[in-house]
Structure 1
Amino acid sequence: MTTTPRTAIVTGAARGIGAGVATRLAEDGFAVAVVDLDETACKKVVEDIETAGGTALAVGIDVVDEQAVQAGIGRIAEELGEPTVLVNNAGIIRDNMLFKMSTDDWDSVMGVHLRGAFLMSRSAQSYMTKAGWGRIVNLSSTSALGNRGQANYAAAKAGVQGFTKTLALELGKFGVTANAIAPGFIETEMTAATAERVGMTFEDLKKEMANRIPVARTGKPADIAAAVSFFASEGAGFVSGQVLYVAGGPQG
């Protein structure tokens, strides 16, 4: 007897952490909606998942657009299955010191991280509460503790933690958990771009960061994917409203 796989949505999944998470959830047996701003950019991840025997669908959604979110999640429910796992990973950076940070730098970061997580969660939770089972995993960051040059990003990522705890309180009685993961330094295209912006090679930046991390290495998308895999699992049903720092050492 075969059973229909549960459906998971991963935003910002065309590359980096999101791609790693989407791949891992597919390995765990979920049908995965690979979501990003550009649907075409998601197709490589979908192909990799399908080649490995999994089920995936590329979906283009601008997470700050209310109508796009509703339409996109509706399409996922129809074409892939009603979603019961949501990973809010979509994010951008617009780093600058406070006195040089533009209002648009602030609004853009808040929009993607907070408005995006809100719109996606509000839309997806209806399927989860109906099913009596659901998992929401939000990506925060060690920057939530404060990080020079990231007033916007730090505030957004701290906001994600408060949002997560509130979802846990509101949705728990419906069988839905909500947890956050706060990565430290992870090797992605985004951190490679940071190296370029500060005038370092990526290898030099990774070495410098590894020297500061107790486990003496930098993180990889698979490290975050493993944490998501736990939070999305059946066994994590008694864990909710938590923030897990995946950073190679103690934080906070």
Structure 2
Amino acid sequence: MPKFKLFKDRKGKADQAKNNKFVKLAREIYVQARSGGPSPESNFGLKNAIAAARAEQMPTENIERAIKRATGNSDNVEYAEIMYEGYGPGGVAIMVRCLTDNRNRTAADVRAVFNKRGGNMGESGCVSYMFDHKGLLVINREDFGADEDTVMMQALEAGAEDVIVNEDSFEILTHPHEFEQVKTALENEGYGFTEAGVRWLPQTMVKAEGENAEKLMKMMDAFEDNDDVQDVYVNFELEGDSDHD
């Protein structure tokens, strides 16, 4: 199992409502196109958002509609990016990244999820010190025949900070500002990625088991169901998970 596996990837696809997922993806595309322009060739954030949408098999017309809305004159909706921090059952650290057009609504919704599931929302900075803000690129080893030394050399020469070698993947870490440079360089070498983006990665992991694990899973489901929530970063793994699974 990759060391930095996003929690949303742990959930089976069957329990995720496609419409809910598409709403989140469309909002991300809208925000990126609104801030950086409609061309993915000159707007790296939009390029990544479109790639994420296509990975989830979002229809092309949905993607184009989101870009058109963002660049048209008739839509005055503005989304703010907000990060909420707090603690889940057992004291695990949780960061919730939101895109919202109504801060009061979103803050109340996120706080309610924490409170109802045995956690509590804290002040800004209360858990972010337990995470590192990094660019993350994951290469599936089965898809490419390159050996470890080659991938490591190419990644480090491109500007990566570190390469973590797993049984089934290479995880390449970058400074957030170097992410685009490293991704482009590796794409030019012929690589593709199963995960690519700037993330908050936990410095250490804690095990969740029993009742706490059940509450945490329900909390993750509740965040997933909220249209304003784009990503959830956590420092726990379920009992039985390991890097050797």
After TM superposition, is the score higher than 0.5?
no
Greater fraction of residues in strand: 2
Higher RCO (CA-CA < 8 Å; seq separation 6+): 2
* Bigger-Rg structure (1/2): 2
Greater fraction of residues in helix: 1
Structure-2-length-normalised TM-score:
0.25
